[in-house]
Structure 1
């Protein structure tokens, strides 16, 4: 599961990793507590030009045939995405990367749910594996109408963060990130399995992170 994350590094830092151009339409303002149902920085290879870009995409996967957002999952299980009718085409042909500096996960305990910030050890900006679809048939008054939408792929947790949650996003190394969005990419399951970071660091953060309106740096301290 991944339902909130932070991206505070400039988009250019991510663009250098995958040799991408940054779209002038991207809002590059730092965000410490980014929720679904908003535009976020996503890297992909444009089908029309073949260019690799980092631009805005709506968090919540909306199929190109959907006329509403009732079906807009924010995550997709990597173990089954290739076989599910909703995700299969995107998994095969429309893969993307989500740019971030950490994600937020909630650990259930006797005292309630405690949020943690999690990132690969070393703290460098990194990417999550995702899939995308263009919301081609949404009503024009919907914010995502005509835009790229995405879901984050999730998998089994790394041993050092399994105590926090039983799922984690698929966190890719720089090499794996470039391979993931290659239109001619093969052995996709192997990329997700072998291309993940293997060491993570985590720390408890403020419980007010549960409110998406709390998007300031203070959410990172307990």
Structure 2
């Protein structure tokens, strides 16, 4: 799953990775991004508009859903294209969520130890996401997850769907709406590029937000 992530790279670095200009205000570094907050994403507000760096609420609830409907922060790759709750957004409202890494917890001697997962080359990660207009009229999103691969399997059975460089443009292409076409053209990042290490228990508290949260520690 993906329930906490990190984004500290600046807009210039993200623009270079995406190979598109993102002329937006500077981003404040965030080292403990939690659900139920505004997160940065790249999307097209409508099919004819340019890509923009925007803020989405991390919690997905379509405008047609009632107040008791769930607000998932993740959507699985196995069901996102067929679930009535997600399939409209999968076809027409896809987005990319930039990140430097994410946190997962592994059970260790009766407790949960947080680990930080990131790219070995420290390049940005681009999580596949979907977004929708919420009942309050504001945009909300969910990050797609897939079965964990590579060393990520050591920590958790699932991981965010991080896309490779060649998949970023087709994922954001408004003309691609067919599930099988998207599946052929969009691919996840090579799992060999992912590494991880244990970090401080302070990350368990969403109010904690500083660079020390991603520093490796010695496991007891």
Query: Considering the TM-score relative to the shorter chain, is it more than 0.5?
Result: yes
User: SS of the counterpart of 1:172?
Assistant: coil
Deviations 1:148-189 (A, max 9, x none): 211000001112220100000001122212211111235222
Bigger fraction of residues in helix: 2
In structure 2, the residue matched to 1:157 is 148
Consecutive unaligned residues in structure 2, runs of 5 or more: none
In structure 2, the residue matched to 1:202 is 196
Distance in 2 (CA, whole Å) between partners of 1:171 and 1:91 is 16
CA 1:47–1:104 in structure 2 vs 1: closer, same or farther (change >3 Å)? same
Contact residue 44 and residue 95 of structure 1 kept, 8 A: yes
In structure 2, the residue matched to 1:96 is 95
In structure 2, the residue matched to 1:123 is 122
CA 1:83–1:122 in structure 2 vs 1: closer, same or farther (change >3 Å)? same
CA 1:65–1:20 in structure 2 vs 1: closer, same or farther (change >3 Å)? farther
Q: CA deviation at 1:71?
A: 1.8
CA 1:40–1:69 in structure 2 vs 1: closer, same or farther (change >3 Å)? farther
User: SS of the counterpart of 1:73?
Assistant: coil
Alignment RMSD = 1.8
Q: CA deviation at 1:147?
A: 2.2
**How many residues matched?**
211
Q: CA deviation at 1:191?
A: 4.2
TM-score when scaled to structure 1? Answer: 0.88
Moved more, 195-204 or 97-106: 195-204
Distance in 2 (CA, whole Å) between partners of 1:28 and 1:201 is 25
Contact residue 176 and residue 196 of structure 1 kept, 8 A: no
After TM superposition, list the pairs within 5 Å mapping 1:14-163 onto structure 2: 14-18=14-18, 19-24=20-25, 28-47=27-46, 49-68=48-67, 70-135=69-134, 137-138=135-136, 146-163=137-154
User: SS of the counterpart of 1:40?
Assistant: strand
CA 1:48–1:92 in structure 2 vs 1: closer, same or farther (change >3 Å)? closer
Contact residue 11 and residue 24 of structure 2 kept, 8 A: no
CA 1:150–1:166 in structure 2 vs 1: closer, same or farther (change >3 Å)? same
- 2:213 aligned with 1:216: no
TM-score when scaled to structure 2? Answer: 0.89
CA 1:3–1:174 in structure 2 vs 1: closer, same or farther (change >3 Å)? same
- 2:5 aligned with 1:5: yes
Q: CA deviation at 1:216?
A: 1.0
Distance in 2 (CA, whole Å) between partners of 1:67 and 1:95 is 22
